Chain A
Amino acid sequence: MITRRRALTLASSAALSACAPRDSNRVTWWAMGTTGENAPILLPPFTRTTGIDVDLQAVPWTGAHEKLLTGFAGGSLPDVMMLNTGWLPELNLLGALTAPPPALLTGHLPGANAAVTIAGRAYAVPWTADSWVQFYRRDLIAEVDYPAPPLDWAEWTRMAQAIVRRHPDRFATLHLLDWPEPLFAYAAQTGEPFLRDRAGRGNFRSPGFRAALAFYKQVFDLKLSPRVTGAEAGDTYIGLRRGWFAILPSDAVFLGDARRPEHRIVPGSWGAAATPGPRGAGAAMARGTCLAVSRTARDPAAAWRLVAFLTGADLQRQIFGITGDLPTRSRAWTMLPPDPVTRLFATQIADSVAPPAVPEWERITSEVQQVAEAMVRGRLGVDAAAAEMDARVDRILAKRRWLLDRGRIT
């Protein structure tokens, strides 16, 4: 009778050890957001010419960072990863990445390579360049007699108040409370560094950041933006189309999304302007993505072939056509339509501030935004919020300071 039990155990252990099939000639790839959702269109020519199958997994941006860390912790990272360039320091610290062949790093925009370089070595290949601008409905801005949204805070506020006065049931802009981007875009305009003491402490009580924080708070205090999170706001494009708000701060993803039939945003009905600053527009936060190959890749050569294919100029131009993601290769920029919007992005990308290269940056932005949300909901004043941000960030960076003091990291 034991034999039957043993048979059962054997059968179940056979079933248990079955895991994902691992065949050669297959490269696994995680790609994020809209780019990841649309990437299948790009792949057939690659598979045809190389014979390499790509197993693509589209990951939503909202869960991408934790998925990458969990993948590293569980030893299950894919061969190729699309990364937010700001996450490179973290994955590099973990030793999760391999250095790309130098040939893939030529011909990119100045600055794109700098963004993927840590301590003199590149750890990924730049893939898309991006920035943060305000997209606006031409008609709603014209209604209050402005040709475009002004670029300094005071004048911008006057325009926004005029919009809200005209339509008391509507808003001038949409700053989602769970998005750190709007606040950090304003803060980047002030030119103040976000961290101090060798990036071992927060610098959020600096006059520059506090000014940005005060402006951000005012946007909500004057009811220029609704107090909503992404989950509640629903489809932001529908909101823009219906005129629920006049200005949508966003990155280049808007360019691809606005073209989609389901959003029905009339071409020519919108324009783009730089993020306003305290005294006119200043530098923007650098944004963009890169492609990296993980140290655990089974066939690094095949993985780099995929990266080489995806980062080519022609393909970057094709991606811009599908998703609005802007290229990093100078040659691809020459193929873009010379319209004011791409010109705006080009100027912004050329003049951007890189986020601090510390592994904790993702967490820092998320905690700072939590405090900013509490401030906007009226629980804290500007100074108390800035102090709370520094306190939290100092706590997050405690381990980094300890390692810095011992010379373990530089």
Chain B
Amino acid sequence: MPQITYVLPDGREETVDVPVGQSVMDGSVRNNLPGIVAECGGGCSCATCHVFVDDAAVGLFDEPMTEEADLVEFLEGACDRSRLSCQLIVSEACAGVRVVVPATNG
């Protein structure tokens, strides 16, 4: 099962197993990691699961849909590595991916 590393808002790093087909958000919520709030449960509605994806990993996930891109653009601290983690579906190729969780997720 791919392991994903979350760099938490306080700088700590947590590495957890995330089953293929689940989202980076799911992995965080299931392990009760701080920083990803996920109010809408993964519906690309609330924008409270913002993460920064490492440059090397950007291509491992599907391109953002307009719905996601429009939310992300106006988030605090957004940059070109910003994604909503509910839209980042984990595949085998994602093993070892690192995401940074900002402290601004609502």
Bound pair (A, B): no
Chain A residues with a Cβ under 8 A of chain B: none
Question: Interface of B with A (CB < 8 Å)?
Answer: none
